[in-house]
Amino acid sequence: MKSVYKKYTPFPRINLTDRKWPDRTIEKAPVWCSVDLRDGNQALVDPMNLEEKLKYFKALCDIGFKEIEVGFPSASETEYEICRELIEGGHIPDDVTIQVLVQAREHLIRKTFDAIRGAKNVIIHFYNSTSTLQRKVVFKKDMQGIIQIAVEGARLIKKLVGAYDGDTRIRIEYSPESFTGTEMDNAVEICTAVMRELGASPENPIILNLPSTVELSTPNDYADQVEYFIRNLPNREGAIISVHPHNDRGTGVAAAELALLAGAQRVEGTLFGNGERTGNLDIVTMGLNMYTQGIDPCLDFSNLPALRNMFEECTKMQIHERHPYVGDLVFTAFSGSHQDAINKGVRYMKEADGELWEIPYLPIDPADVGRQYEPIIRINSQSGKGGAAFIMQNNFGYNLPKEMHPEFGALVKAECDKVGSELSAEELFNVFRRNYLDIDGKYRLIGHSILEKSGTDSSEVHFHGTLGYNGSSMDIHGIGNGPIDAFFQAVKKVGLTDYDFLTYHEHAISSGSDSKAIAYIALKSPDGKTVFGVGIENNINMASIQGVLCAINRSL
């Protein structure tokens, strides 16, 4: 393996010393063209049938695509019939343009024109390969021979458009296939020849599509190629510059984004990047990348779960759980530090009540794409104290005080280590229940009464009760400045003297006439450790007293 890499040659750089694209910013969405039904479909193990294609087409229209490549109708009868059904069945909205792909070969072009009759808006997308390698290995022609193929295709298309009978509005797109593997001056020359043959003008522009048919370089090189091409193209205003990045190096989205900076106006891709080999540009990812920068992608991704379900049902492919924005785990934090930051971010946004999204580790609000908040934090042995507290608050309404997070987090971590797997929200709550609510301790309150006496300068509270202890009972009494203090003084009189009261927190955990209160009490135990107790009652005073008793029992 050590020397095998030498059979590969580095990608030749363009000497573009004064490139402009690095200083630009994406400010608006491009024209999007979905190629799911053609490029995406041909990459499937089992291509979509008519019913699946129609379902997919409707979803693309609902999202907001105005240009959709529907197939290669001259390639097979199946592709031809699907195109005809879309037209004759009335499935194409008036504001949507269908695009059909065809090689620059006469009999295929003629059949393609037959396939589109009756459509309202059509893009005829023709192509031939122009790369150095394809010329050498596949076609065995020089560049002039390749240019001749493209010009003859353009000439026939122009003739057929001029003679076309009907109200169909036809636009033309040309792709020098394998653009990234073509010498840039040759790419400019062949596109210029096609534009000249078609009479392209600012009033009747051609779409020039510059495909990264095979991704051969880093995205900055692709941006250089696009910028060089645009700078050197005569009659620049007579062309709409489109890009069609593939993902062989895993940088298809980056290549498209940098191509926009370089001057591209239109982008072809598929919803979730499905396509030949490692796939096409992922339009959902690129669109939502814009969305996180405050740019309207002009496509509706507000219900990604439904869109994902449609995609998986029609293509029989599964979206990876780490796929950007749509994967099962992309909004989920297992790491303790991540969970803590997210928890604090949620609290900050509630307190600030601002309009801006400001939560660490979540570049987008999951709700904006139809996702739920419940799975944002999931608990395993890598999780921290903040994650457990987040779930207790967001799933069950228990707002554990910050001082309690380390203690409860340690209990949760121990449970994860014990079971050796992730804890569900219910399993996490059961840890809380076992350790704080269902305590079968030495002490229990059998009965009580609380009496408040008010004087001229101050008031005092008397607590009278019966405390159960190891099968027996004892009467207790204490006086304090409030119910909690009075109870605390009462238990001191029966030997529980070495406890210090540290903190107190409480809140309601339900609403209405039957609402309950929860109290979190922190005591310093005789051995100097901080221990928390929890009490839940309809009466806040009793919840607090039960919390004190819980903390005492947990310390023994």
Q: Which of 246, 280, 315 is at the close of a domain?
A: 315
Structural domain including 33 reads 28-315
Position 136 confidence tier, pLDDT thresholds 50, 70, 90: low
**Is the model's pLDDT at 221 over the cut of 90?**
yes
d(CA 445, CA 468): 6
Percent above pLDDT 90 for the chain: 65
Answer whether residue 58 is part of any domain.
Answer: yes
Distance of CA 328 to the CA centre of its chain: 9
**Is the model's pLDDT at 248 over the cut of 80?**
yes
Q: Would residue 318 be called left, alpha or beta, if left means φ above 0 and alpha means ψ between -120 and 50 degrees? A: beta
Position 458 confidence tier, pLDDT thresholds 50, 70, 90: low
Same domain, 310 and 260: yes
Q: Which of 403, 418, 437 is at the close of a domain?
A: 437
**DSSP per residue over 249-304, as a string?**
TS-HHHHHHHHHHTT--EEEEBTT---STT-B-BHHHHHHHHHTTT---SS--TTH
Q: Are residues 173 and 206 in contact, defined by beta-carbon separation less than 8 angstroms?
A: yes
Average pLDDT over residues 299-303: 97
Give the H or E element holding residue 170: strand 169-177
Answer whether residue 174 is part of any domain.
Answer: yes
Which of the residue ranges 48-62, 355-369, 377-391, 393-407 has the most confident prediction, judged by mean pLDDT?
48-62
d(CA 242, CA 172): 12
Query: CA end-to-end span of the chain, whole Å?
Result: 64
For 498-511, the pLDDT digits (tens) are: 888 899 999 988 75
Q: Are residues 535 and 484 in contact, defined by beta-carbon separation less than 8 angstroms?
A: no
Q: Residue 260 is part of a domain; what is its CATH number?
A: 3.20.20.70
What pLDDT, on the 0 to 100 scale, is given for residue 1?
Answer: 56
Lowest mean pLDDT among 4-18, 332-346, 378-392, 516-530: 378-392
For 535-546, the pLDDT digits (tens) are: 999 888 889 999
Q: Residue 540 is part of a domain; what is its CATH number?
A: 3.30.160.270
d(CA 64, CA 69): 14
Same domain, 126 and 192: yes
Same domain, 231 and 89: yes
What pLDDT, on the 0 to 100 scale, is given for residue 543?
Answer: 92
Position 455 confidence tier, pLDDT thresholds 50, 70, 90: low
d(CA 274, CA 43): 7
**Is the model's pLDDT at 529 over the cut of 80?**
yes
Q: Which of 396, 419, 437 is at the close of a domain?
A: 437
For 13-40, the pLDDT digits (tens) are: 888 999 999 999 999 999 999 999 999 9
Same domain, 456 and 550: yes
For 88-104, the pLDDT digits (tens) are: 999 999 999 999 999 99
d(CA 23, CA 132): 31
**Is the model's pLDDT at 419 over the cut of 70?**
yes
Answer whether residue 496 is part of any domain.
Answer: yes
Average pLDDT over residues 247-256: 97
For 517-528, the pLDDT digits (tens) are: 999 999 999 999
Q: Are residues 243 and 210 in contact, defined by beta-carbon separation less than 8 angstroms?
A: yes
How far apart, in Å, are the Cα atoms of 525 and each of 119, 483, 500?
82, 20, 7
Answer whether residue 5 is part of any domain.
Answer: no
Compute how many other C-beta atoms are within 10 angstroms of the C-beta atom of residue 512: 6
d(CA 343, CA 393): 10
Answer whether residue 269 is part of any domain.
Answer: yes
Answer whether residue 458 is part of any domain.
Answer: yes
What pLDDT, on the 0 to 100 scale, is given for residue 138?
Answer: 60
Give me the chain's average pLDDT, please.
Answer: 91
Same domain, 262 and 373: no
What pLDDT, on the 0 to 100 scale, is given for residue 42?
Answer: 93
Number of domains present in the structure of the chain:
3
3 state SS of 215: coil
Same domain, 261 and 407: no
Same domain, 63 and 173: yes
What pLDDT, on the 0 to 100 scale, is given for residue 271?
Answer: 97
What pLDDT, on the 0 to 100 scale, is given for residue 176?
Answer: 95
**Is the model's pLDDT at 382 over the cut of 80?**
no
Same domain, 88 and 219: yes
Answer whether residue 325 is part of any domain.
Answer: no
Of 334, 330, 362, give the one whose Cα is nearest residue 349. 362
Same domain, 77 and 209: yes
What pLDDT, on the 0 to 100 scale, is given for residue 200?
Answer: 97
Q: Which residue did the predictor score with more confidence, 372 or 43?
A: 43
**Is the model's pLDDT at 285 over the cut of 70?**
yes
What pLDDT, on the 0 to 100 scale, is given for residue 374?
Answer: 67
d(CA 112, CA 207): 18
Of 98, 105, 213, give the one whose Cα is nearest residue 154. 105
Same domain, 388 and 449: no
**What's the predicted TM-score (pTM) here?**
0.81
Same domain, 100 and 234: yes
Average pLDDT over residues 67-73: 96
**Is the model's pLDDT at 463 over the cut of 70?**
yes
Same domain, 226 and 356: no
Residue type, 304: L
Answer whether residue 358 is part of any domain.
Answer: yes
